[in-house]
Every structure is written in C-alpha cells, then in structure tokens.
Amino acid sequence: MNDERLGALVGKAITYGVPLTAEQVAGCLANEELLQAVGDRGLTVGAVALKAGDQPNVTEVAGAQAQTEPKTPEVGNVLASLSPEKRERAEALQIGLAEKFSTEEQPLTTEDFGVVLVGEGDRQKAVVMLTTGSGLYKGSYNTIMANEVSNNQAYTIEVDGQKIDTRKAMTGSVYQAFIEQAIKSGVDPLPDSPPALAEKSGQPWTETWLTGSPIVAFRAYVCAVGNAGRPHYFLRGRHGNCHSLRIRPGAVV
C-alpha cells in the first residue's frame, strides 16, 4: 500500500469534510491488496485489469463493480473519465464552489456541482458547474455583473492559489452541452424546463443568465429548456430581476 499517498488523501478528506472515493483508495493499493478487496465484494477482475508489474487499473475495477451495482448516471461518470490530474482539479473546484455558494436557505454540496464535457477531440474541455434543476437567484444581470470589489469577491473562488471568477464559464456552448448531457443521462425533468419541473421542485420555470457570453446593448442572453426539450436562447433586459432568472456558477477544469 502507498501509505504516503493514502495519508495525503485522508488529510485532504478531513480538511474539506469530503469522504474518500473508492477510486482514490484503490489507487493506493498494491495489486494483491486490490484483488483481495475486489474478491471480498464477490467481484472478479480480468487479466486486462491487472498485468504483472502494472499498477491497478481503477477504471477496469470500477467496470467490474458496475456489473453488480446500480448504474451511475452519465453525468456522474464524467468525473471518473477524467485523467487523475484533472479529476483532482475538478474535485477541488466542486469543494470550492459548494463552500462559496451554499447558504442556510439553499444548502449545496459537491454533488450539486457536476462535470460537463464541452466540445470534441483535442478542443474538448471539462467544466464544473451547478447542475441542479434550478439555478441560484442573485438578482438582475447588472447586479450580478457589477464591477465592484465586494461583488466580484462574491463570485470568486480560490483553488490551488488561483482565483477564479465563477461567472465566466457559463456560455451558450457550455449550457448546450449541459442539457445534451442531461438528456443522454435520462434526467427527467430537465433543468430549467417547463411546468413539469416546476411542479416537482416548487420552483418557477427558470432561465439561466449566460454570464460568460457577450451582452447586446441593454440586454443579455439567457437560456432555458423549451417544451420540445431543447435549449432556447433569449435576450432579456439586463435590469430585469424576475425571480425565475438564475445563475449557474462554474469553472473550467
């Protein structure tokens, strides 16, 4: 067992109050220890997963485990599909976002901030963002984007010494990928969707300010899911503060 790495992970878990994942623990085990742990759960790992002299292939083990446990929604699997470095970065962003935007009135956890893949191939990027059914109400676009020190601080998180403006990630392409990923994952009802969501959540039919997109004169873009189940883009007055106009803070991994 890699005691040094396990100790570092445990320290991080205690500091942030986030439990270790099975993948993190498995990454600290030697081949024999990993096989024993898998065997104890009544699972098997093929020769592809472990080869002589190789480190455990956590992805293969996770695949074996999935055969006997309920299938995880695709949105959740995105995190596991990232490289170890990006996964660690994404988890740190989830912690930072949850700590920044959770309130007594609307408590949030890291599970409320999913990972969305945007684009294809070499140009693809991962974005951690608020993926719950309804976003956060923070007032008008002008209020949210006011260039004042205190207001900018309200939307800034610091991860690994880097300050990140959580308003800049929400663009039209990110929102499009967010909804398409939710559709593929079978999310029902979809976020920002018509009365079906309102009835279940007790929230109005919401729209999301695209705080990372350019403005058009005195108006700014918002996006919501229409009756056909696809994203619809609109321009709203930047001074509008209707309670259905929300934000989805996020950050590029």
Backbone angles phi, psi at 130, to 5 degrees: -70, 115
Which of the 8 DSSP states describes residue 122? G
Q: What pLDDT shows up at residue 123? A: 86
Q: What pLDDT shows up at residue 69? A: 30
Cis peptide before 189 (omega within 30 of 0): yes
Of 184, 166, 170, nearest in space to 78 by CA: 184
Q: What pLDDT shows up at residue 120? A: 86
The H or E element that residue 235 is part of is: strand 231-237
Backbone angles phi, psi at 73, to 5 degrees: -55, 150
Q: Quick count: other Cβ atoms within 10 Å of Cβ 13?
A: 14
Rounded-to-integer distance, Cα 191 and Cα 231, Å: 10
Rounded-to-integer distance, Cα 248 and Cα 122, Å: 26
Which of the 8 DSSP states describes residue 27? T
Q: What pLDDT shows up at residue 204? A: 65
Residue ranges for the chain with pLDDT beneath 70: 1-76, 195-204
The H or E element that residue 163 is part of is: strand 162-165
Find tokens 């065997």 and name the residue. 39
Q: Do residues 192 and 81 touch, judged by C-beta distance below 8 A?
A: no
Q: Do residues 238 and 140 touch, judged by C-beta distance below 8 A?
A: yes
Rounded-to-integer distance, Cα 85 and Cα 35, Å: 25
In the chain, DSSP assigns E strands to 113-118, 125-130, 156-159, 162-165, 207-209, 219-225, 231-237, 245-246, 250-252
Q: What pLDDT shows up at residue 110? A: 94
Q: Quick count: other Cβ atoms within 10 Å of Cβ 192?
A: 28
Query: What is the model's pTM?
Result: 0.67
